[in-house]
A and B are shown apart, each in its own frame.
With several copies, the nearest count.
Chain A
Amino acid sequence: MIRVQQEDFDIGAEIARLKAGRTDIGAIVSFTGTVRDRGGAVTEMTLEHYPGMTEAELQRIEAEACARWPLQASLIVHRYGALKPGDNIVLVVTASEHRDAAFEAAKFLMDYLKTRAPFWKRESGPGGTRWVEAAESDDASAAAWKPKRAAE
């Protein structure tokens, strides 16, 4: 399941909902991305996105993870709008019988989301306002999954 929303999410409630009444799950991994103030350099972060494409892209990324790993449940929640340091940005949850699938799928979802989901961060602070630049390391992380995909 995927959700794009302005409001905050409750990690515990999301995980609880995902495993409610289930006795077949053995491993649940969650990733939460939060706004860093970088030692005071950031006082506000605004997330712009491309409504419609964002949802479509997150669904494609989730479907790709489900095709690669035996997931029993998965969730992506991504916020947009104005955020403060410490605020939640993104939540990814994966559930599987075994921990390796849950860990790998969660990392994959984040790596792909970072390079494919149409979000753009703008940071404000004492030094002014700037658009965050994409990290080359994110491209490398996403590309590292490619060989597996081709091998399938």
Chain B
Amino acid sequence: MRLLYFAWVKEKAGVAAEDIEPPENVATIAELIVWLKTRGPEFANAFARSEVIRAAIDKSHARHDAKIKGAREIAFFPPVTGG
């Protein structure tokens, strides 16, 4: 599963993209965030205010309760500020 990070989530996590294999019991975006935060202080910091983090599964916006099974690409980013 490919993970992408954007904007300050990327800067805080210190990584733009990586391939990971989360444990079997990680079923949703919310659970994936909880697991990511255990991977080190950078991730704990990047996802500290997890309620403001937005996610996308395979290039579509996804809620924190969305199931991640079968996802090829999951992205994490702050609220968007384009336009």
Q: Are chains A and B touching in the complex at the 8 Å CB cutoff? A: yes
Chain A residues in the interface with B (C-beta under 8 A): 33, 47-50, 52-53, 56-57, 78, 89-90, 99, 110, 113-122, 131-134, 138
Beyond A90-B82, A119-B82, list 11 extra A-B contacts (CB 8 Å). Answer: A48-B6, A53-B59, A57-B59, A57-B61, A78-B83, A114-B80, A117-B83, A118-B77, A120-B80, A120-B81, A122-B7
Q: Is the interface of A mostly helix, strand, loop or mixed?
A: mixed
B60 A56 Cβ-Cβ under 8 A: yes
A134 B59 Cβ-Cβ under 8 A: no
The 10 sampled A-B contact pairs (Cβ below 8 Å) are: A50-B6, A52-B59, A78-B83, A90-B82, A115-B79, A118-B6, A120-B82, A121-B82, A122-B7, A134-B80
B78 A110 Cβ-Cβ under 8 A: no
Chain B residues in the interface with A (C-beta under 8 A): 4, 6-8, 56, 59-61, 75, 77-83
B6 A134 Cβ-Cβ under 8 A: no
How far, in angstroms, from A48 to B78 measured CA to CA in the complex?
12
Looking across the interface, which residue of chain B has its beta carbon closest to that of A121?
B81
A89 B83 Cβ-Cβ under 8 A: yes
Min CB distance B58 to A, Å, is 9
**For A78, what are the chain B residues with a Cβ–Cβ distance below 8 Å?**
82-83
Known: A48-B7, A50-B6, A50-B75. Contact between A110 and B83, CB under 8 A? yes
